[in-house]
Structure 1
């Protein structure tokens, strides 16, 4: 005797659909969580890479700092390294400015690091001894920075909040050429909190040569104009 074939009842179909729906919902939530975690990891990695890059660029600048004072747009001499406390600003002359196009300019470069709003900026001039209209060119290095602080280590091992140090009876020319042994950089980042690095300057910093040096005494008729330096 043949048995009649049976299909699924409506209740069984509804139960199967409910089970598949629960499995699909669980899989979607798991996949969504994995994607969110991956996105957060990538975002954290990018922020960490930007912080590391900012310190690396500043360290590279300071590693090539040299004893080369400059004149500003009003023919006043500025020290080879000038550090101001309020607001925290670091300005100095560095060697090693690449010149792949062979432009008629010096291998020295005047740079300034400062906090503009919440952005850590690196500014540089296209000339060393500046004219009145010589404006720096800004480069944004790191965003979301707060409370930038700078300190300078002198030859006696003392940390100073500004540079050059104010020493009574010191030689003015030597003061223009003097460089600290190291610079301490501190700032606050919203993700990593307070970050502090001590960056060492060269033990034997490069010196200016006669062709590139500004007149350290007196004001000549060409004071305040860019140096004519042969291409390097």
Structure 2
């Protein structure tokens, strides 16, 4: 008669210890893979944010148009200017209208540093009223410092504000337009980033009366931006 034979307690403990070691090694490897994946995804998100900010800035500044606007108080403002609170405002073209809404193809855009966020603000209308609503878009987080420089096409000098002080002596009150814009961002994630954009836009031709010439640049062709210039303002060049 054969007696039943099983595992001893010591053998079970040894097997459980071996399985525990394998499980610990497998968990450590899986945890490393998951952490690496999370770091890669975070880096890709930061890279995508920088690329989106760059594309948005590039599109806005390369589409600058010589079209002054009126602010909420009715004062005429130049096509591109730096306000006292370090906000950069500009008029850009190429605003798509796939729904054929009753609005121009030009858009008034501004950039400002709100805390540590670089924000893009835009208006649905060019000539604003006091109750005009603004559309905000956060382009960049963790910005420690933001600096602007504008290249003067005539003197080939860089200015930290625009229009420069010398613009007040321009003939017939013409509003100059910079040749290029340099943007420096100091962020925690990327350090200092420098963007340089050429506007590719000449100054506004003026009439002897000192007002911008509405007919400068020829007549509009199909598909071009509409002007809708304010009274006393300039049309798109």
> Same-fold call, TM > 0.5?
yes
Q: Is the Cα–Cα contact under 8 Å of residues 68 and 79 in structure 1 kept in the other structure?
A: yes
Greater RCO, 1 or 2 (C-alpha within 8 Å, sep 6+) = 1
Match runs of 1:102-181 below 5 Å? 102-155=100-153, 156-167=155-166, 169-171=169-171, 173-175=173-175, 178-181=176-179
Which residue of the partner structure matches residue 31 of structure 1? 30
- Mapped to 1, the partners of 2:136 and 2:172 lie a distance apart of 31
Q: Is the Cα–Cα contact under 8 Å of residues 66 and 206 in structure 1 kept in the other structure?
A: no
Q: Is the Cα–Cα contact under 8 Å of residues 83 and 90 in structure 1 kept in the other structure?
A: yes
Residues 32-51 of structure 1: per-residue CA shift (max 9 Å, x gap): 11101101110111011011
SS of alignment partner, residue 150 of structure 2: strand
Residues 11-37 of structure 1: per-residue CA shift (max 9 Å, x gap): 222112111101110110110111011
Residues 83-135 of structure 1: per-residue CA shift (max 9 Å, x gap): 24x64321000011111221221111110011112221111111111222223
Q: Which runs of 5 or more residues in structure 2 are unaligned? A: 206-212, 216-226
Match runs of 1:50-65 below 5 Å? 50-65=49-64
- Mapped to 1, the partners of 2:172 and 2:193 lie a distance apart of 35
TM-score w.r.t. structure 2 length? 0.81
- Mapped to 2, the partners of 1:49 and 1:159 lie a distance apart of 30
TM-score w.r.t. structure 1 length? 0.82
Q: Is the Cα–Cα contact under 8 Å of residues 64 and 201 in structure 2 kept in the other structure?
A: no
Q: Is the Cα–Cα contact under 8 Å of residues 173 and 216 in structure 1 kept in the other structure?
A: no
- Mapped to 2, the partners of 1:18 and 1:90 lie a distance apart of 67
Q: Is the Cα–Cα contact under 8 Å of residues 110 and 124 in structure 1 kept in the other structure?
A: yes
Which residue of the partner structure matches residue 192 of structure 1? 190
Closer/same/farther in 2, CA of residues 30 and 48 from structure 1, 3 Å limit? same
- Mapped to 2, the partners of 1:160 and 1:71 lie a distance apart of 24
Which residue of the partner structure matches residue 232 of structure 2? 216
Closer/same/farther in 2, CA of residues 205 and 23 from structure 1, 3 Å limit? farther
